[in-house]
Amino acid sequence: MILHRWISVGLTLVTLVAPAAHAQPLPEASALPPEIAQAAVTLLGRGLKAPETARFDRLRMGRAGAVCGQVDTTNRMGQHVGPRGFVADLEAGFAALVPDGAELRNPASPAHYAAMQRALALFAANCAA
């Protein structure tokens, strides 16, 4: 059985700088060493409103060195929205959910758009099939 938790997403794409409030449980089936998996989970969780509710799955090392995986989130109403890809560059201290089309069409700022493009490029280099 894979341990799962939920997250409430405050920002879809976040460059993370603040420490996480709670440690995240790791999926039992993670293909990564526990310390790398925990670092990726913590890095992505730092920018989430409720990181302790995140459900992480399919953690693996990407082709170019970043960590790839899926995270299951809830919306503002607390409803399950399904798994979504994420990518984390541990050396650069960057982690982000993979943006969807609506997010790319309506960025909050030029910096937000640049961060989404960074996430897409990192995901393409590491995680895309």
4-33 residue pLDDT tens: 222 222 223 333 333 444 455 566 557 789
Alpha helix locations (H) across the chain? Answer: 34-45, 101-105, 110-126
pLDDT at residue 117 is higher than 70: yes
Tell me which residue of 9, 6, 13 sits closest to 107, measured CA to CA.
13
What is the chain's mean pLDDT, rounded?
Answer: 78
Q: What is the pLDDT of residue 114?
A: 95
Two structure tokens written together for 107: 């960025």
pLDDT at residue 111 is higher than 50: yes
Kindly indicate the confidence band of residue 3, based on its pLDDT and cuts at 50, 70 and 90. Answer: very low
- One-letter amino acid at 85 equals G
- Of the two residues 50 and 17, the one the predictor is more confident about is 50
User: Do the beta carbons of residue 33 and residue 40 sit within 8 Å?
Assistant: no
Give the whole-angstrom CA distance, residue 49 versus residue 87.
Answer: 18
Q: What is the pLDDT of residue 1?
A: 29
Q: What is the pLDDT of residue 40?
A: 94
Two structure tokens written together for 98: 């993979």
Rounded to 5 degrees, φ, ψ at 4 are -130, 150
Lowest mean pLDDT among 4-8, 58-62, 103-107, 115-119: 4-8
